[in-house]
A and B are shown apart, each in its own frame.
Chain A
Amino acid sequence: MATIIAPPIGAQAQAPRRLHISEYLRWSVDHKVIGVQYAVTSLFFFIVGGILAMLIRAELLTPQLDLVQNGQQYNTLFTMHGTVMIFLFIIPMWGAFGNYFVPLMLGAKDMAFPWLNALAFWMIPPAGILLLLGWLIGAPEAGWTSYPPLSSLFSGDGQTMWIMSLHLLGISSILGAINFIVTIKNMRPIGMGYFQMPLFVWAVLAQAITIVMATPFLAGALTLLLLDRIAGTAFFNPAGGGDVLLWQNIFWFYSHPAVYIMILPGFGVLSEVLSVHSRKPIFGYRAIALSSLAIALVGFTVWAHHMFVSLTPELRIPFMITSMIIAVPTGIKVFSWLGTLWGGKLHFTPAMLFALGFLSMFVIGGISGVMLAAVPFDVQVHDTYFVVSHLHFVLFGGSVFAVYAGIYHWFPKVTGRMLNDRLGQVHFVLTYLGFFFTFFPQHLLGMLGMPRRVSVYAPEFQGLNVVVSVAAFLLGISVLVLFYNILRSLREGRAAGPNPWRALTMEWTTTSPPPPHNFHGDPVPFDDPYGYGTEASAAYIDAIERRFGPSAPLSTERRNMPAAQGGD
């Protein structure tokens, strides 16, 4: 049973340190600065990708072309939207959370390779610029999947920039992942075995392993495509002895695992948030931790379900089987999270609202995912709005909801200030409704016959498309509420205290924001990161408060209610 023995340092820990913008604009090897750099960069690209999404939905208000002049411009819109959101928003955003919190959760002073960490980050801004500059020299129009021969023989020179940009982002991602693996393996504090790690750290570990195994395949495919475009090779051109399916196989060998790269850390965030804000131990710790690994590994065997209308028909069956299997570990997670809520004391903080929203939306993505794995049904809805809907239920209803939950949960630690609860609730309601009505009707559109990636469509689909577009605009507005909340709280948010949620993981055993070397002295982990409901955990939290001053805001109430002290 662990307690903090070091003497209190005094009230200095209470006053949030002012953040200097200039610190974040230059090379720094502090993982916390790098984390914020990742976050701000990703949020910038979130806005870029979001604006593109708004343009797409505006175009689709009517069945004809009106906003864009031709199909090619439209193709560029969704190509950029997909590429930006995946490679410049979600993946780097998990880089932000991982960078900032993995060392803190391990009680470490920094990542294992701080310099490499900075290098990985600084590849992202140039990659983003490279991608967007493509617009000036003949924009890419082959979608984020960039199937040849459209991407090799037809798409504009911007396609070459797209390749270079993804190459850079891939290298950045691999370097970051190696760093996480080494950090998690070597820098755990004494007394923290793998099965005492917070589940967010487990999730980042599973993600990092996936990145290291998968991303080199993307690099390979991109290199071949680049050669086809600029050196006259014919890897993907049957006229020169190549094969168009080669690209699809290698690309999806990376890009299906990439789905888990985008969602696994979200699973981690969810485990943290649900447990802390329900004041209850996570249900089935080992099952959750190990199912992350299972998902990461089985995730390597399912890639060809993205090729159910191009792959040789007999070969589709084995991939149907593996794609069905992967639903099982995912189900285990969802049920374990529900088990965590059961019998808890749920506090509906904005972080918790988004975590609950994740559960309720992600399950729809899971169900449609199993349906898509069934080959005969997939054949009907492949390359239609059903798939657009499914992927957004997983990546928006899943990953983005988790990003939001993570922001509300950890913003106090990063800035020393609380986000506004009321605005957080408004943000949640707008997001939840906007999201559902944007994406749910798309299932129907796809089944009824609307293919994806079209700027013109049959007139009978207009009604549903108007619903979708209006809801999408609402979703766009919801993002503004979040940004307003963040900017406002940076200036005038309530001081957070070290541990506003009275959580047990180690990032909360230091001031908010943490000092340059993270901890005052050597922190001692509590032996169960989710050991709520015990005398020991209450004592541990009290010790943090004694040392760094009161937690806010819950423990202020707590102080006034001595009866509740010590758990129950």
Chain B
Amino acid sequence: MNVSERKTNGRNSNALLWIVLAGLAIIGGGFLISLLTPYLFPAQGSTQAQQVDNLFRFMLVIGGAIFLLVQGVLAFSVIRFRAKPGDVSDGAAIHGNTTLEFVWTAIPAVIVLVITIYAYQVWQTTRAVQPNEQVVGTVGARFAWSFSTNVTPDQFPAGVELSQLDPAVQADIEEDGYITITSPQLHTYVGQPVQLQMVTQDVLHSFWVPAMRVKQDLLPGRTTDIRFTPVEAGMYRIVCAELCGSGHGNMAGTLVTTDDNPVYQGAWLNVHADEAAFRREFLEPETLAVLFPPEDPAARGRQLLASGAYPCNTCHVLSDLGWTGNLGPSLDGVGTRTQRLSQTGQPDMEAYIRNSIRRPTDFLVPGFGPLMPQFNPEPDQPNYMPEDHLNAIVAYLLTQTE
């Protein structure tokens, strides 16, 4: 009696030892797996990235441990419990074990509870409103991004007198209190929190910068926003993550983060007179271009298209501006492409190009589908293109003869 009791006790404590050892090995394995985290993500570009990666690393420790546990038990069972050849007997008639079942219900419940709380905290901090944000308007249109910043008169370059300006520009400023400068790139600064306010011209898009670990859909009928604070200077890819049609894979953009002048960190909205370099870099040239549009319509058209205010570049090739889009016909030489003019029902090339933009489906270039968005004359319509912009763009395209 005594002997057998001692024997069972010995076996029990042995089993306990094995369980503890296996448990430690599994948790240690989970830690080792989690060391891979930095190699699984692109370099961290924002404070958000640091927090998301930490959350992931935490989940990878747990996930890795569970992975090892399950595969380990499977492998052990496959080896240890395989039926010997010719053995047709049955295994032990065990139907369950309430304690065990309670344990493997309770432990996962606690684990997901902890993950939920941690994830909630990360979610709150990554989205928190920061003081002094750089607010950038973001427009998604099939299949390009454009970014715009509002500049109020007190931010205008020194020496600009409102009265010098073109009456149309003056009227604009009077109405809104600011002018809008547009760029196909998103400019940000290290340490400067950014808030994007995003709208779409057509279907759903999703703004994603993998290096920043932020993503948000652009929804027709709504303005959505997203926040991040860059921590590393560099050029980052902006990706469209929501299926938006034929050019979805091409709908990429560039995010530039600079830190070359620490004086201007955090200074986006409070530009002072002595921060000349900052203004020289980006704000002034862009602002001046809007304030003093070139007299020559063709030059103005070129400037408009180069600014990225319209999403033409993803669909068209245009060597003069370095466009490489492949969804529509090349615009190189479009100004003298007269061979099809008779079929289009338009009197001359100017009328044809104008109509190609205002009503693209009236005549489809052979070999292409009705993919080009219609650019409309009224501000409340999608893909708004004011008449004077259209005139300038048409004038510019007519100069593209080869």
**Which of A332, A356, A448 interacts with B78 by CB under 8 Å?**
A356
A-side residues, CB < 8 A to B, are: 65, 70-72, 75, 141-143, 147, 149-150, 153-154, 237-239, 242-245, 278-287, 309-310, 313, 316-317, 320-321, 324-325, 327-328, 331-332, 334-336, 338-339, 341-348, 356, 359-360, 363-364, 367-368, 370-371, 374-377, 379-380, 382-384, 443-444, 447-449, 451-458, 502, 531-534, 537-538, 554-555, 557-558, 561, 564, 567-568
Partner of A347, one of B56, B83, B108, B240: B83
CB distance B88 to A451 under 8 Å?
no
Known: A75-B248, A149-B220, A531-B93. A309 touches B81 (CB 8 A): no
| Known pairs A376-B213, A451-B249, A456-B249 / 10 extra A-B pairs, C-beta < 8 Å | A70-B246, A142-B243, A147-B203, A150-B244, A243-B221, A279-B89, A334-B70, A345-B89, A363-B66, A451-B241
Smallest distance from the beta carbon of B82 to chain A beta carbons, Å? 5
Number of A-B residue pairs having CB atoms within 8 Å of each other in the complex = 286
The one of A280, A374, A382, A567 in contact with B59, judged by C-beta atoms closer than 8 angstroms, is A374
Segment from B5-13, B117-125, B187-195, B266-274 that makes contact with A = B117-125
24 contacts between A and B (CB under 8 A): A153-B203, A244-B220, A280-B91, A310-B204, A320-B116, A325-B112, A327-B108, A332-B101, A338-B74, A342-B73, A347-B83, A348-B78, A370-B112, A374-B115, A374-B116, A377-B119, A379-B216, A380-B213, A382-B206, A448-B42, A448-B210, A449-B210, A451-B248, A568-B90
CA distance A154 to B116 in the complex (A): 39
Decide: B93 and A532 in contact? CB cutoff 8 A: yes
Q: Is the CB of B241 within 8 A of A382?
A: yes
On whether the beta carbons of B203 and A149 are closer than 8 Å, the reply is: yes
Contact: B243 with A342, CB < 8 Å?
no
With A309-B206, A324-B116, A382-B241 in contact, do A360 and B96 touch (Cβ < 8 Å)? Answer: no
Q: Is the CB of A346 within 8 A of B245?
A: no
* Pairwise interchain contact A379-B214, C-beta atoms closer than 8 A: yes
Q: How many residues of B contact A (CB 8 A)?
A: 86
B73 to chain A minimum Cβ distance, whole angstroms, is 5
* Inter-chain contact A343/B55, CB cutoff 8 Å: no
Which residue of B41, B122, B250 contacts A456 across the interface (Cβ within 8 Å)? B250
How far, in angstroms, from A537 to B118 measured CA to CA in the complex? 50
Q: A310-B219, A344-B91, A377-B52 are in contact. Are A287 and B83 (CB under 8 A)?
A: no
Taking CB atoms and an 8 Å cut-off, the chain B residues in 84-134 that contact chain A are: 86-97, 100-101, 104-105, 108-109, 112-113, 115-116, 118-120, 122-123, 126-127
List residues 181-218 of chain B with CB under 8 A from any CB of chain A.
Answer: 202-204, 206, 208, 210-211, 213-217
The answer to whether residues A317 and B120 also contact, given A70-B246, A338-B70, A448-B41 and a CB cut-off of 8 A, is: yes
A78 to chain B, nearest CB (A): 9
Given A338-B73, A363-B67, A568-B89, A287-B101 contact (CB < 8 Å): yes
Residues of A within 8 A of B244 (CB): 150
Partner pick for A444 among B40, B92, B249, CB 8 A cutoff: B40
Q: Contact check, A338 vs B77: say whether CB atoms are below 8 A apart.
A: yes
Contacts of A376 in B (CB 8 A): 48, 51-52, 55, 119, 122-123, 126, 213
B119 touches A375 (CB 8 A): yes
- Chain B residues with CB under 8 A of A379: 52, 213-216
Q: Known contacts A370-B112, A371-B59, A449-B42: does B77 contact A71 (CB below 8 Å)?
A: no
| Minimum Cβ distance to chain B for residue A355 (Å) | 11
Decide yes or no: A342 and B221 within 8 Å by CB, A70-B327, A379-B214, A533-B91 being known contacts.
no
Tell whether B157 is near chain A: CB-to-CB under 8 Å: no
A417 shortest CB reach to chain B, Å: 21
Quick one: which of B81, B100, B242 contacts A383, CB cutoff 8 A?
B242
B239 located at the interface, meaning its Cβ lies under 8 Å from any Cβ of chain A in the complex: yes
Which of B59, B240, B242, B243 gathers most chain A CB within 10 Å?
Answer: B243
Nearest first, the 5 closest Cβ-Cβ pairs linking A and B are: A238-B221, A449-B210, A454-B249, A533-B93, A280-B91
A316: shortest Cβ distance to chain B, in Å?
Answer: 7
From A291, which residue of chain B is reached at the shortest CB distance?
Answer: B105
Known: A342-B77, A382-B215, A534-B93. A449 touches B55 (CB 8 A): no
Q: Which of the listed residues B63, B203, B247, B382 has the most CB atoms from chain A within 10 Å of its own CB?
A: B203
Residues of A within 8 A of B210 (CB): 380, 448-449
Most chain A CB within a 10 A radius of its CB, from B40, B113, B219, B248: B248
A51 to B16, CA, bound (A): 52
Task: Decide if B344 is an interface residue (CB 8 Å cutoff).
Answer: no
Q: Name the one of B71, B239, B245 contacting A75, with C-beta atoms under 8 angstroms.
A: B245
In the bound complex, what is the Cα–Cα distance between A321 and B119 (angstroms)? 10
Say which residue of A282, A320, A371 sits within 8 Å of B56 (CB atoms): A371
Q: Which residues of A contact B94 (CB under 8 A)?
A: 280-281, 283, 343
**In the complex, B237 has a CB within 8 A of chain A:** yes
Contacts A377-B56, A383-B241 given; indicate if A280 touches B74 (C-beta within 8 A): no
Is A557 a contact of B88 with CB atoms below 8 Å?
A: yes
